[in-house]
Amino acid sequence: MTDQNLTHLETWDRRQAEYEESRRVGPIKATFDRMLRNRLLLFGTVLGLIVLGAGFVGPTISGADPNLQNFSATHLPPGSEGNLLGTDHLGRDQAVRVFIGIRVSLMVAAGVTLISLAFGLVLGMFAGFLGGWRDRTIRGVVDFVWGFPLILVAVLFAGGLGEGLFPVILAVGLVNTAAIARVVRGEVLSLSEREFVEAARAGGLSTPRIMWRHLFPNILAPALVLASYYVAVAIIAEAALSFIGLGAQPPTPSLGGMVSDGRNFLHINPWASTIPGVTIVLLVLSVSLIGDGLRDVFDPRLRHEAKGVEQE
């Protein structure tokens, strides 16, 4: 027997066990218990909470100005008196800047996720459920957008709208919308074959009502899980674009911009780029772990799709 068949059996067994458990203790508690048991998710959540906490509570506690320059205290190493993570080439406090940078990253990620989730869900559901020429049109546009490298789209947007976070959010949101719409469409196509949709149709429900009451609740969990995967994509893209100067503009502190500022001083103060760089990696890692964990908890079938988005 091949490995693949084995995994299917395991998945089936697990789903059966999950079903029985949710019958016993109720669906909400069963889901929550599963979340706690998932070590990846737990680790990712703890890591994420630490980074998030640093981003949101950090600046409030210190109350310091991220752009305050102090030329008598440049290039301090981490652990210096009054500058927990040291200072950069202008003597600005690294800790405060990293905290605000996390906030900027998360704001971009939130904007991108809202845009891509909203439009991706609507487009994917319309294409998958309505079919026909609407499906062909939406699919044509979505496949076209999806075929472009994210960074190239963002550079084109920056070329049209100027540099800044707004074009970055639009560009990344656009490409992620296409990615989410593709998967949602596929899910809707397979859901439309199921008996409950058939039953709703036979019962004479209108198309909008079937889509809203019967398809939407079934599609929401996998879409949210998928969106969490694209949060990581958005964070990396924002950092990369800020790094090459097309994202956040000074004086707004952003993690990518800080890595870029620090790279001219690698030989005297490697910390200046290392600290924001490690922060980006931690942020991305925690978001990916949360995404992977959520996927395992809510929808084991999505495992292949989230990993294989690029391979279709």
Partner 1 sequence: MKRVLARTVYMVIVLALSSVAVFYAIRLSGGDAVAARVPASASAEDREAVREQLGLNDPFHEQYFDYIGSLVSGDLGNSLTNNAQIGSMLTEHGRNSLILGAAAFILVFGVGIPLGMLASLRRNSWWDGGIMTFSVAGMAVPNFWLALLAVWLFATQLGWLPSAGCCSPKQLVLPAVVLAMEGLALTVRMTRSAMLENLNQDFVRTLRSGGLSEVKVIGRHVFRNALVPIVSLAGLRIGQIVGYALVVETIFGWPGLGQVLVNAVLRRDYPVAQFFSLVLVTIVLLSNWLADVGYSVVNPRLRRG
Distance CA(281)–CA(98), nearest Å, equals 13
- Please tell me whether residue 243 binds partner 1 under the rule CB under 8 A: yes
**Least distance between partner 1 and beta carbon 238 (Å):** 10
* Contacts (CB under 8 A) with partner 1, residues 115-154: 144, 147-152
**Does 9 interact with partner 1 (rule: CB under 8 A)?**
no
CA distance 234 to 201: 39
- In the numeric block, which tokens belong to residue 164? 């800044």
> Which of 210, 236, 258, 297 is the binder for partner 1 (CB under 8 A)?
236
In the complex, least distance from residue 264 CB atom to partner 1, rounded to whole angstroms: 11
Of 52-111, which residues contact partner 1 (CB under 8 A)?
none
Interface with partner 1, residue 246, by CB under 8 A: yes
Told to check if 163 binds partner 1 by CB under 8 A, we report: yes
CA 247 to chain centroid: 18
Part of the chain binding partner 1 (CB under 8 A), chosen from 19-27, 89-97, 215-223, 270-278: 270-278
Q: How far is the CB of 310 from partner 1 (least distance, A)?
A: 7
Query: With binding defined as CB under 8 A, does residue 177 bind partner 1?
Result: no
> Smallest gap, in angstroms, from Cβ of residue 240 to partner 1?
5
Shortest distance, CB of residue 14 to partner 1, whole angstroms?
A: 22
Nearest-approach distance from CB 174 to partner 1, in angstroms = 12
Is residue 256 part of the contact set for partner 1 (CB under 8 A)? yes
160 belongs to the binding site for partner 1 (CB under 8 A): yes
- The rounded distance, in Å, linking the Cα atoms of 16 and 8 is 12
The residue ranges that bind partner 1 (CB under 8 A) are: 2-4, 144, 147-152, 155-163, 236, 239-240, 243-246, 256, 259, 263, 266-267, 270, 273, 277, 280-281, 284-285, 288, 310-311
